[in-house]
Structures are given as structure tokens and as C-alpha cells.
Structure 1
Amino acid sequence: MGKQVTEMLKGTLEGIVLAILSGRSAYGYEITAWLRDQGFTDIAEGTVYALLVRIEQRGLVDVRKVASEKGPPRKVYSLNAQGHEHLEEFWRTWSFLAERLEQLRSGGKQT
């Protein structure tokens, strides 16, 4: 990934992770693997885990521990009602920005 993509991703990764969790519960490594499968190959596991800690502290996810075949129990994250509200705000903001950027790209013409 180029530097510009990496910088843009920093601002949107929380919304991306919340969107992943809106579809199903997952643990950190699953989220990282999905992101890598989608082409975000430079995402470090540590980045995702740090983000999961932040969204847990902010009350956007519910966490349950699930026994693992290897090692300690895994923390499985699920989006809760507050997380869904936050995700909806993310999508509203994303839509606003995407529309304005498209206007700029098309020479400032209203679409």
C-alpha cells in the first residue's frame, strides 16, 4: 500500500472495523485476516488490537471470552446498540465527504 492509502486508512479504520462487526462477531486476528484478504496487506495486527481496545473502552462493542484450542481464551467482539449508532454516523459522514470529493473531481459541478 502506498503512503497516501495508509494515511487515509488511519482515519477510516475504526469505521471499517465497526462495519465488519456489524455483520458478525469476530476476534482480532479474524478482523486482521479479513482486512488483508481485502487488500489491506500492510495492516499490522497491533493496529487492529489497539483499535479494538479503544472501541471497547468507548462502549461501542460487547466482548465475550471464548475458549481457544491453542492458548488463552479469545476476546470476541460484537457491535452493540451504541456501536451501531456510531457506525451510522460514520456512514453519514462518509457519504457527505464522498459527495463533496466527487464534486471536486468533476470540476465543482453539482451532481
Structure 2
Amino acid sequence: MDTQLMKGMLEGCILTLISHKETYGYELLLELEKYGFENVGEGTFYPILTRLSKKGYLSCRQVKSEAGPYRKYYKITDEGLVHLREFKHSYYKITGIVEKILEDKE
């Protein structure tokens, strides 16, 4: 799969999962794997979280972990919810158009 396309889709998926509940990075990565994103490396995943945080779509807090170092917990912001709605609108519009083209049998 094209990496730029996947990164764009991952952003929407990550925002969606975080909109359901506050979570930390590794837990979120496992959730993505459960849905089928099995080859998402940390080198792709964590920069997306950082970028979403820098854009103001996620807030982050650090919590001491019983198992070791601090964990960063992510929560979607109001701005992130707006961006997620816009992402979903664009996604469904584009995929609808692509499906029509791909299914056209001349």
C-alpha cells in the first residue's frame, strides 16, 4: 500500500479510536493491529501521534506506569473532533467516487 495514502488513513483511524477513549500509544498500536493494520511500525505510528498533537488535535498527559517509564495518554481535543468530522466527510466522498470508477464496467 502507498505509504502516504496509509499515513492519511491512519490519521483518521487514530483520531477515531482516541475519540472513543483516552489511551496511550502502545495500547492504540495494538488496537490498530486488531483491526488489521499489522505492519504499522513505530517509526510510522509515533510520528503521526506527534504530528496530531502539534496540530492541536490531541492533548497529551504523562502518567507514571506501574510497569516502568511514564506513559503518554492521548485524548482528542475539540479541534480534533472538528478535524475528524472533516476527515470522515472527505473520506466517504472520495471513496464513493473511487468505488464508482472501479466498478464501472463500460
Please give the TM-score of this superposition, normalised by the length of structure 2: 0.90
Query: Is residue 14 of structure 1 aligned with residue 1 of structure 2?
Result: no
Q: What stretches of structure 1 move > 3 A for 4+ residues in a row?
A: 5-8
Structure number having the greater strand percentage: 2
Change in CA separation of 1:69 and 1:56 when aligned onto 2, cut-off 3 Å: same
For this pair of structures, how many residues does the alignment match?
A: 106
Query: In 1, Cα distance between the equivalents of 2:2 and 2:77?
Result: 29
Q: Which residue matches 1:60?
A: 57
Secondary structure of 2:62's counterpart equals strand
- Tell me what 2:85 maps to: 88
**1:42 has 2:39 as partner:** yes
Distance in 2 separating the partners of 1:17 and 1:104: 28
Q: Distance in 1 between matches of 2:70 and 2:33?
A: 23
* 1:98 alignment partner in structure 2: 95
Q: Is 2:60 aligned against 1:73?
A: no
Measured on the aligned residues, the alpha-carbon RMSD in Å equals: 1.8
> Unpaired runs of 5+ in structure 2?
none
Identical columns (%): 35
Code of the aligned partner of 1:80: T
